[in-house]
Amino acid sequence: MRTRLAVLLACVLSLTAASAPAEATRPAVALGSVVPAPVEVRPHGSAFQLTERTVIAAPRSARAVAERLAEALRPATGYRLPVVDRARGGTPVISLASGREEARLGAEGYRLRVRRSEVTLRANSNAGLFAGVQTLLQLLPPAIDAATPQRNRWTVPGGEIVDYPRFAYRGAMLDLARHFHTPAEIKRYIDEISRFKVNHLHLHLSDDQGWRIQIDSWPRLTTVGGAPGTGVDGAGGGYLTKADYRELVRYAAGRYVTIVPEIDMPGHVNAAQVAYPELTCDGVAPPPRTDTAVGYSSLCIGKEVTYRFVEDVIRELAAMTPGPYLHIGGDEAHATTDDEYLTFQERVLPLVARYGKIAYGWNEIAQAPAARRAVAQYWGLTTENATLAAAVAGGTKVIMSPANRAYLDMKYDPATPLGLNWAGYIEVRTAYDWDPGTYLTGVPESAVLGVEAPLWSETLRDLDDIEFMAFPRLAAIAELGWSPARDWASFRTRLGAYGPRWEQRGVGFYRSPQIDWAG
Ligand code: NGO
């Protein structure tokens, strides 16, 4: 209902704009009203009008990004903008160029110049061009995200933006184990996170309740562990086939998102043990579990079959994952002694490297000397963690996901109908107001690869639930990962102005009372 009203309003507004020539070139959006905030913004000169005469020019190497831009502009404008190698003189053009541009733009930065006659986007790579395209889309009026043609003036404010990320790793995580989410839902999530220049999607593929990824050498993992009824409280079930997974990898790559698969071990393995009782120490299958308790299951550290299983899984997972990281969980191994945990990690962390991947795990892995070459994901509640700081001194890299800041499954406040609250309540400002580079004592910015916003799905069944918990907080974490400075007042204003874009796309975000939402 609210969405329909908003569309109606947008139509009325756009009709007014269309019939008021004096307003014709005044852009609806200020240059720099972009999330995440760009590094440098210099408004000047006159605005660019996107019309049906506009062409998109791009070298062959950047064709895919140009096509994606043309696709994104089509539904709301109704224009079929041609993608050409070079525009003829006098034609209004959006031109994309990638090559050896300024060094400071790095692998993902871009320079966007908007003048009356043309928009130029330059980058060192297609990833940079894609990031620039996301900025350009936000500089058009929010109606650009409508699914059907709108009468509007498609004005882009004049000026220049130079932009590049603070951290190389900007991630989101989705838990497919507690409630399975379909490939279509995952794709929709990829679409949404990539708009905020998030470049990694971590998939939590196994847990006590269910196993969600096909492994050929252990087929019962999915036929039993992914069977109907393996979601929390007996809901749903399901798993990704290898074909599904490869398709997701391909889809994500087209949006410059790298998939990071996680198999959680040695704890959180009840579903695997139901399917293969030899993975328990006594060889007896445990009962299936669809409650949300944690920390009770463990692989049998002293049995060789454990390591055959782990190696098979890592080998098959590595073979279908082009990205550099493979996450092996490692959290809440409360059913494993400290010695056993070390024994396990000293064997398993090097295995990941043997299959060509960088081992990534929850921060508990920092106890193991082999974690020196690994990446630890910090999910604690405090700003001190001596074990992690010691590992960092030895070379471990860190991705920051403090649970009381970055967990998207925490309730916003006590009235939030979904989510958990064990790490506290996380309103938008709490998610935004911390610095990943200085947060943890003994973990300097140089050791921080970036940030990740995990979304655990004990209470989340479908895409509506996911969107309500992820947005707007994911935008806050994305800005911490990308932008050089943190400015709540500015973020709050830009986020409020962003709301109508989610509305246009039918994303059911949480209307935090901390934000003055436009529209
Ligand atoms: C914890 C736990 C998960 C829960 C999650 C819920 C980690 C790393 N282990 O985070 O099993 O699903 O909290 O918020």
Is 364 designated active site?
Answer: no
Q: How many whole angstroms separate alpha carbon 195 and alpha carbon 108?
A: 14
Asked if the model's pLDDT at residue 78 lies above 70, the reply is yes
> How many CB atoms are closer than 10 A to CB 463?
19
Amino acid at site 116: R
Asked if the model's pLDDT at residue 375 lies above 60, the reply is yes
Kindly report the pTM of this predicted structure. Answer: 0.94
> How many CB atoms are closer than 10 A to CB 135?
22
- Given 101, 185, 332, 340, which residue is catalytic? 332
Q: How many whole angstroms separate alpha carbon 287 and alpha carbon 300?
A: 17
Q: What is the mean pLDDT of residues 387-397?
A: 98
Atom 7 of ligand 1: nearest residue by CA position: 331
Q: What is the pLDDT of residues 186-234, one digit of tens each?
A: 999 999 999 999 999 999 999 999 999 999 999 999 999 999 999 999 9
Lowest mean pLDDT among 82-91, 150-159, 245-254: 82-91
Asked if the model's pLDDT at residue 23 lies above 90, the reply is no
Categorize the per-residue pLDDT at 10 as very low, low, confident or very high, splitting at 50, 70 and 90. Answer: very low
Joined tokens for residue 73: 């502009």
Centre of ligand 1 from the C-alpha of residue 404, in Å: 12
Q: Which mutation among 262, 292, 334, 456 tests ligand 1's pocket best, with the greatest number of atoms within 8 A of CB?
A: 456
Atom 9 of ligand 1: nearest residue by CA position: 331
Centre of ligand 1 from the C-alpha of residue 297, in Å: 14
Cβ–ligand 1 distance for 331 under 6 Å, the answer yes
The single residue listed with the structure tokens 């809901």 is 235
Joined tokens for residue 152: 């509007």
- Is omega for the bond preceding 149 within 30 degrees of 0, making it cis? no
Q: What is the mean pLDDT of residues 144-169?
A: 97
Backbone torsions φ then ψ of 372, nearest 5 degrees: -55, -35
Q: Name which of 488, 471, 399 is nearest 439 in CA terms.
A: 399
Q: What is the mean pLDDT of residues 281-294?
A: 95
Categorize the per-residue pLDDT at 25 as very low, low, confident or very high, splitting at 50, 70 and 90. Answer: low
Cβ–ligand 1 distance for 253 under 6 Å, the answer no
pLDDT of residue 72: 98
pLDDT of residue 88: 85
* Higher-confidence position of 12 and 441: 441
The single residue listed with the structure tokens 């911490």 is 480
Asked if the model's pLDDT at residue 287 lies above 90, the reply is yes
Asked if the model's pLDDT at residue 358 lies above 70, the reply is yes
Categorize the per-residue pLDDT at 4 as very low, low, confident or very high, splitting at 50, 70 and 90. Answer: very low
Q: How many whole angstroms separate alpha carbon 467 and alpha carbon 480?
A: 20
If phi > 0 it is left, if psi is from -120 to 50 it is alpha, else beta; for residue 300 that is beta
Asked if the model's pLDDT at residue 21 lies above 90, the reply is no
Q: Where are the alpha helices (DSSP H) in 50-103?
A: 63-77
User: Distance from CA of residue 158 to its chain's centroid?
Assistant: 30
Centre of ligand 1 from the C-alpha of residue 393, in Å: 26
Asked if the model's pLDDT at residue 3 lies above 80, the reply is no
Looking at the CA of residue 178, tell me the nearest atom of ligand 1.
12
Q: How many whole angstroms separate alpha carbon 69 and alpha carbon 75?
A: 11
Cβ–ligand 1 distance for 294 under 6 Å, the answer yes
Q: What is the mean pLDDT of residues 223-251?
A: 96
pLDDT of residue 154: 97
Q: Name which of 109, 93, 97 is nearest 156 in CA terms.
A: 93
Average pLDDT, the chain: 94
Q: What is the mean pLDDT of residues 394-409?
A: 98
- Give me the domains of the chain, ranges plus CATH numbers: 21-163 (3.30.379.10), 169-486 (3.20.20.80)
Angle at 372 between CA 391 and CA 208, to 5 degrees: 90
| SS3 state of residue 43 | strand
